[in-house]
C-alpha cells in the first residue's frame, strides 16, 4: 500500500504543478490578449500572382490537422486558434473544415494583398482558455441551401435566430435566412434604404423593418425573427434579445412555398456564425458552422461541402464556394513554439502522461521549458555565476529538496520518506528539461535502497 500511495502522490504532485514540456505546451492563461498565452504559432504565406489587387478575399490552405490534434497541439474542435495578419492585435477570419485527415482545408480571409506581393498569416494556437467561435464569411461568392423539408414549413409560432457579424453598415439587399417565393413564406433580410442598412422581417407580402445600429458593426449580433399570428402585433425583430421592431401584418398564417431554405443569399461583408429555427419553441434546425460540423465534398472550384444539422432532423446545409484560387500561391512554414521557435513534429505521437517526448538518452537534457514555475527566478540567479546551467539548477532545486526533506523527516522520522521528498524538486526540474533524467534515476535508487534497509532493520 505504501508503494501505491507514494506513486499516486508523486504523479498527482507532478501533474498538478508542472506545465507541459517541450513536446506539448499547455497554456494556462486567463485570456487571449498576449502572445505568451498561446503555445504554438503557424505561419501561412500567400503570394498574389492574379494580376489584380485583392481585398477581403478567402484563400485556401491545406494543413495536417489530424497530426496536430493527435499530438495535442490543436484542440479537437479547433477552438484554440487566433488567426492574425500584420500583428497579434489584428485578428482576421479563419474558416476551418474538418476532414479527419492530414489535408484539412482552411479558408483565411486576406484583408489586403496587392498584385505581386506576399502576406504572412500568423495563426496562434494552444490556449486552453480560448474558445473561438468561427463562422462562414459571405462575400457574394457563396451559395448555402437546405433542400425543402416540412420541418422548415412553419406557418405559425415561428422563430429564426441568426448570429451575425457585419463589417460595413452600408446598405445592401440580401437575405440572411429565407424560405421565400413570390411574396409567400418568411425571410430575415438586409435591405438598402437611401444608402442606409436596415434589417427586415417578411411574412408573406407584409414586412417589418428596423434601422441598423452603428454599435453593431464588427460585433456579434443575435438577430431574431418572430411571427405569431394574433390580433394586433404579430411580426417582431429582436437584436440581442431586445425587441427593435414590431408590426401588425394581419396575416392569419404563413404560406410556405415548396422551395429550398437559403442562408446568406447575395450577402456581403458579413459572417454568419449560427442559425436556429424554432417551431413553437421546438428546435427544427440548428447549424453552427464550427470545425467539427463542416465537411468538404469538393476540393476544386466550385468548392462544396456540408454543414451538419445539430438536430435529429438531419437537414444539412449544402454550401458552394465560387472562390477562384488561380494565381494565389500558398505555403506553410510549419508549427513552432511561440517562445523559443523550437520545432514541434507533426507525426511524433510518442508522448508520456505529462505530454513530454520519450527520450532515448537519459543523460541528455531536454529543451528547457521557459514557462516552468520558478524558471525566471532560477535563471536570473545563476546566469552570471559562470557555471554549467545544470549545476545551477541542481544547486537551487537541491536546496528546496533539503527543506522538504527536513520537514518530512521531522514530522515522520522516516528516512525513505525524507529522501522521497528531497527528490520532488529534482523530478520537477528533470521534467522541465533543467536536469538530465539520470538525476531522478539516482534518487530513485537511493530511495529504494533506504527503504529496503529500513525494512530489513525492522524485520531484524
- Given a cut of 90, whether residue 272 has pLDDT beyond it is yes
126 with 145, same domain: the answer is no
DSSP alpha helices (H): ranges in 81-236?
Answer: none
- Grid cell digits, residue 97: 473544415
- Given a cut of 50, whether residue 408 has pLDDT beyond it is yes
What's 20's DSSP letter? -
Q: What pLDDT score does 20 carry?
A: 38
Helix (H, G, I), strand (E, B) or coil at 160: strand
% of the chain with per-residue pLDDT over 90: 54
d(CA 176, CA 197): 13
Per-residue pLDDT band for 420 (boundaries 50, 70, 90) equals: confident
More confident residue, 100 or 300: 300
217 with 82, same domain: the answer is no
47 with 187, same domain: the answer is no
Instruction: For residue 213, tell me if it sits in a domain.
Output: yes
Render pLDDT for 187-213 as a digit per residue (tens, 0 to 9): 999 999 999 999 999 999 999 999 999
263 with 143, same domain: the answer is yes
65 with 114, same domain: the answer is yes
Give CB contacts under 8 A, 24+ apart, made by 398-405: 398/422, 398/425, 398/426, 400/425, 401/425, 401/426
Instruction: For residue 299, tell me if it sits in a domain.
Output: no
221 with 247, same domain: the answer is yes
Mean pLDDT of 332-336: 88
Instruction: For residue 313, tell me if it sits in a domain.
Output: no
- Grid cell digits, residue 67: 497530426
**54 neighbors 110 (Cβ within 8 angstroms):** yes
Number of domains in the chain: 3
Q: What pLDDT score does 346 carry?
A: 31
Domain CATH number, residue 109? 2.60.40
67 with 181, same domain: the answer is no
Burial of 160 (0-12, 13-18, 19+ CB in 10 A): buried
Helix (H, G, I), strand (E, B) or coil at 179: strand
333 with 362, same domain: the answer is no
Instruction: For residue 147, tell me if it sits in a domain.
Output: yes
Per-residue pLDDT band for 13 (boundaries 50, 70, 90) equals: very low
129 with 168, same domain: the answer is no
Q: What pLDDT score does 369 carry?
A: 65
Q: What pLDDT score does 449 carry?
A: 77
Burial of 437 (0-12, 13-18, 19+ CB in 10 A): middle
Instruction: For residue 306, tell me if it sits in a domain.
Output: no
- Given a cut of 90, whether residue 431 has pLDDT beyond it is no
Estimate to the nearest angstrom the gap between the alpha carbon of 56 and the chain centroid: 21
Q: Hunting for cell 507533426 — which residue is that?
A: 346
250 with 142, same domain: the answer is yes
- Span of 23-27, 75-79, 165-169, 343-347 with lowest mean pLDDT: 343-347
Instruction: For residue 404, tell me if it sits in a domain.
Output: yes
Domain CATH number, residue 277? 2.60.120.200
Full residue range of the structural domain in which residue 366 is found: 2-19+355-459
Backbone angles phi, psi at 301, to 5 degrees: -65, 130
Q: What pLDDT score does 337 carry?
A: 85
CB atoms within 10 A of CB 193: 13
- Given a cut of 80, whether residue 377 has pLDDT beyond it is no
- Given a cut of 90, whether residue 440 has pLDDT beyond it is no
Q: Hunting for cell 479527419 — which residue is that?
A: 100
Cα radius of gyration rounded to whole Å, the chain: 30
More confident residue, 337 or 183: 183
Instruction: For residue 26, tell me if it sits in a domain.
Output: no
85 with 189, same domain: the answer is no
Instruction: For residue 316, tell me if it sits in a domain.
Output: no
Per-residue pLDDT band for 348 (boundaries 50, 70, 90) equals: very low
Q: What pLDDT score does 214 carry?
A: 95
93 with 105, same domain: the answer is yes
Amino acid at each position: 500500500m505504501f508503494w501505491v500511495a507514494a506513486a499516486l502522490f508523486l504523479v498527482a504532485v507532478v501533474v498538478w504543478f508542472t506545465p507541459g514540456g517541450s513536446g506539448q505546451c499547455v497554456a494556462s492563461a486567463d485570456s487571449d490578449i498576449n502572445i505568451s498565452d498561446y503555445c504554438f504559432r503557424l505561419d501561412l504565406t500567400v503570394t498574389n500572382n492574379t494580376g489584380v489587387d485583392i481585398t477581403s478575399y478567402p484563400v485556401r490552405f491545406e494543413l495536417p490537422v489530424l497530426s496536430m490534434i493527435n499530438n495535442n497541439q490543436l484542440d479537437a474542435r479547433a477552438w484554440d486558434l487566433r488567426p492574425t495578419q500584420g500583428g497579434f492585435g489584428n485578428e482576421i477570419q479563419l474558416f476551418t473544415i474538418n476532414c479527419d485527415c492530414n489535408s484539412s482545408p482552411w479558408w483565411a480571409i486576406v484583408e489586403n494583398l496587392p498584385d505581386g506581393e506576399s502576406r504572412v498569416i500568423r495563426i496562434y494556437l494552444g490556449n486552453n482558455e480560448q474558445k473561438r467561435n468561427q463562422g462562414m464569411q459571405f462575400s457574394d461568392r457563396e451559395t448555402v441551401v437546405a433542400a425543402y423539408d416540412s420541418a422548415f414549413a412553419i406557418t405559425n409560432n415561428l422563430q429564426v435566430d441568426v448570429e451575425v457579424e457585419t463589417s460595413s453598415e452600408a446598405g445592401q439587399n440580401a437575405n440572411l435566412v429565407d424560405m421565400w417565393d413570390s411574396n409567400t413564406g418568411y425571410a430575415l433580410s438586409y435591405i438598402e434604404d437611401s444608402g442606409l442598412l436596415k434589417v427586415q422581417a417578411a411574412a408573406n407580402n407584409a414586412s417589418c423593418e428596423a434601422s441598423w445600429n452603428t454599435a453593431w458593426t464588427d460585433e456579434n449580433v443575435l438577430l431574431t425573427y418572430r411571427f405569431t399570428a394574433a390580433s394586433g402585433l404579430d411580426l417582431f425583430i429582436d437584436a440581442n434579445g431586445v425587441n427593435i421592431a414590431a408590426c401588425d401584418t394581419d396575416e392569419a398564417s404563413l404560406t410556405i412555398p415548396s422551395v429550398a431554405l437559403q442562408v446568406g443569399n447575395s450577402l456581403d461583408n458579413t459572417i454568419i456564425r449560427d442559425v436556429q429555427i424554432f417551431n413553437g419553441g421546438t428546435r427544427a434546425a440548428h447549424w453552427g458552422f464550427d470545425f467539427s460540423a463542416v465537411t468538404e465534398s469538393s476540393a476544386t472550384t466550385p468548392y462544396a461541402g456540408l454543414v451538419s444539422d445539430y438536430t435529429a432532423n438531419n437537414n444539412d446545409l449544402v454550401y458552394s464556394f465560387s472562390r477562384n484560387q488561380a494565381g494565389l500561391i500558398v505555403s506553410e512554414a510549419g508549427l513552432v513554439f511561440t517562445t523559443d521557435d523550437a520545432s514541434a513534429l507533426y507525426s511524433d505521437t510518442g508522448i508520456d502522461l505529462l505530454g513530454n517526448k520519450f527520450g532515448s538518452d537519459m543523460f541528455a537534457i531536454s529543451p528547457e521549458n521557459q514557462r516552468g514555475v520558478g524558471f525566471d527566478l532560477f535563471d536570473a540567479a545563476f546566469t552570471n555565476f559562470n557555471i554549467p546551467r545544470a549545476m545551477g539548477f541542481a544547486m537551487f532545486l537541491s536546496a528546496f529538496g533539503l527543506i522538504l526533506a527536513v520537514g518530512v523527516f521531522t514530522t515522520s522520522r522516516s528516512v525513505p520518506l525524507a529522501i522521497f521528498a528531497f527528490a520532488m524538486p529534482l523530478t520537477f526540474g528533470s521534467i522541465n528539461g533543467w536536469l538530465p533524467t539520470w538525476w531522478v534515476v539516482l534518487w530513485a535508487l537511493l530511495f529504494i535502497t533506504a527503504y529496503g534497509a529500513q525494512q530489513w532493520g525492522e524485520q531484524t
